[in-house]
Structure 1
Amino acid sequence: MSEQATLTAAPIRVLVVDDQPLFRMAISSLINDEPDLEVVAQAENGLLAVERAREAEPDVVLMDVEMPVMDGIEAAGLMQEHVPCAKVLMLSVVEDDERLVEAVRRGVHGYLLKDLRPDQLFEMIRAAMRDESPVSPALVGRLFAQLRGGTRSPAPAPVIEPRAALSERELEILRLVADGLTNRQIGRQLHITEGTVKNHVHNALHKLHMENRIQAAAYVVRHGLGLPPQFD
């Protein structure tokens, strides 16, 4: 991030949720060292996380999956009801396919493994604010493989046929999202601006009645729209 942007933009407000005090405080300290990020609250379980989120109104919630009282995935569902503007990023130590799919169904904006380097985590938080729904690279292929072969739907079915609803450009972009590309990478590959990519993703979400790009890309994969029409 440029120095000028750091000086003029308000910092991204983060709520850190983890039942391990040492990890929670350490990650909060690292985040606060970044000039464009600020931890505004902490919580040790999902129930308190919802309460803290309602009080602090964070931009991003960085939340552990496995916690006592209420786990992170259940809390993520409540966040959608009570703090819909907050972007929830799940943190996990294990590659649990079932929990990953359930998190997507609950409308989380990203799913990260705790083996990320600090600079990767910071970029994931910033990516969430760009509506890029970050997922740890090791999990991208597992997510869509699970959704291709699974029986559980990652999101409510849209009321209209997706191929009829989406333009070819929107489908093309969602296929690249399903490959794990960011808006910037998609823009470079298609020779369009990052802003144009974001607009296409936003329009596709609106047409499919979905909350984030992970859900939309998963729907494309599940319904056999992962290849152009002539290859279906």
Structure 2
Amino acid sequence: MIPEESARAGDEEGRSVRGAVRVLIADDQPMVRMGLALILRTAAGIEVVGEAGDGAAAVRLAGDLRPDVVLMDIRMPVMDGVEATRRLAAEQPGCRVLALSTFDMDEYVVDALRAGACGFLPKDVTAEHLTAAVRTVAEGEAVVAPRLLTRLIATFVGAPPAATPQPAPSVLQDLTPREVEVLRLLAGGLDNTEIAQTLLISVSTVKKHVANLFAKLEVRDRAQAVIAAYESGLVRARTAVV
């Protein structure tokens, strides 16, 4: 039986594999942890350094092991994945959290993204997508399928009432008109290439606008920027999102 909290050395001398992405797996179901670990341990350039059965253990182990990425189940006993993510974001900003959930449409996923998670995966993710997501998050990018992100946020993030016109929220006042356009398109689920095509500008210019609006909104990634767009009322949820 796999222990609820465990660490694993990288080789016989206890060193990490040189250059490998160090991953901590946090899930209260031993079989899920085992399956994720088996997939990741067969992937080149990824090292599973530990496993935790609840959020408190994940925070503890992350402090000891300093992983690059934590695969964090959202719903766990003792401390849930949202609170664990919030603590890791505050205490270890270099550690990237990739949230896991059994359900595609899970309001706790949005809470985890607000707390600092860099992406979300369903637990039935394929081995190929899992390893690709871990590598992407380790490189500093966010991992949420744009259409899924839009559905999640449009469903679970509240926006101000649309009954009366309101002035631009203070969170958006520092954005240029072009940055507001880019943010609207981000919230619509478009990637950088699609935004460039829509606005007739280069992808590199889109990336500059995205970096600028991240800094002005004080968000870490695309997911948090899209949440800000909905919460500010810049983008409003539709009655049906597909």
TM-score bracket relative to the smaller structure = 0.7 to 0.9
Decide whether the 8 Å contact of 2:24 with 2:62 is kept in 1. yes
Report the counterpart of residue 103 of structure 1 in structure 2.
112
Residue 51 in 1 paired to residue 60 in 2? yes
Structure-2 separation of matches of 1:117 and 1:60: 18
Closer/same/farther in 2, CA of residues 99 and 226 from structure 1, 3 Å limit: same
SS at 1:91's partner residue?
A: strand
- Further displaced range: 201-210 or 50-59: 201-210
Decide whether the 8 Å contact of 1:132 with 1:182 is kept in 2. no
Larger helix share, 1 or 2: 1
SS at 2:173's partner residue?
A: helix
Residue 113 in 1 paired to residue 122 in 2? yes
Report the counterpart of residue 141 of structure 1 in structure 2.
150
Report the counterpart of residue 89 of structure 1 in structure 2.
98
- Further displaced range: 177-186 or 18-27: 177-186
Residue 208 in 1 paired to residue 217 in 2? yes
Report the counterpart of residue 164 of structure 1 in structure 2.
173
Closer/same/farther in 2, CA of residues 184 and 87 from structure 1, 3 Å limit: farther
Report the counterpart of residue 6 of structure 2 in structure 1.
none
Structure-2 separation of matches of 1:35 and 1:188: 35
Report the counterpart of residue 230 of structure 1 in structure 2.
none
Structure-2 separation of matches of 1:56 and 1:196: 38
* Cα RMSD, aligned residues only: 2.8
Closer/same/farther in 2, CA of residues 135 and 31 from structure 1, 3 Å limit: same
**Equivalent of 2:202 in 192, 196, 201:** 192
Decide whether the 8 Å contact of 1:140 with 1:179 is kept in 2. no
Decide whether the 8 Å contact of 1:97 with 1:142 is kept in 2. no
The Cα of 1:201 is off from its aligned counterpart by 2.6
Aligned-pair identity (%) = 40
Structure 1: state its 5+ residue gaps: 1-8, 152-159, 228-232
TM-score by length of 1: 0.76
Closer/same/farther in 2, CA of residues 222 and 70 from structure 1, 3 Å limit: closer
Structure-2 separation of matches of 1:150 and 1:207: 20
Structure-1 separation of matches of 2:157 and 2:70: 28
Closer/same/farther in 2, CA of residues 168 and 124 from structure 1, 3 Å limit: farther
Larger gyration radius, structure 1 or structure 2? 2
Closer/same/farther in 2, CA of residues 101 and 166 from structure 1, 3 Å limit: same
**Equivalent of 2:51 in 36, 42, 55:** 42
Structure 2: state its 5+ residue gaps: 1-17, 161-168, 237-242
**Equivalent of 1:180 in 181, 189, 213:** 189
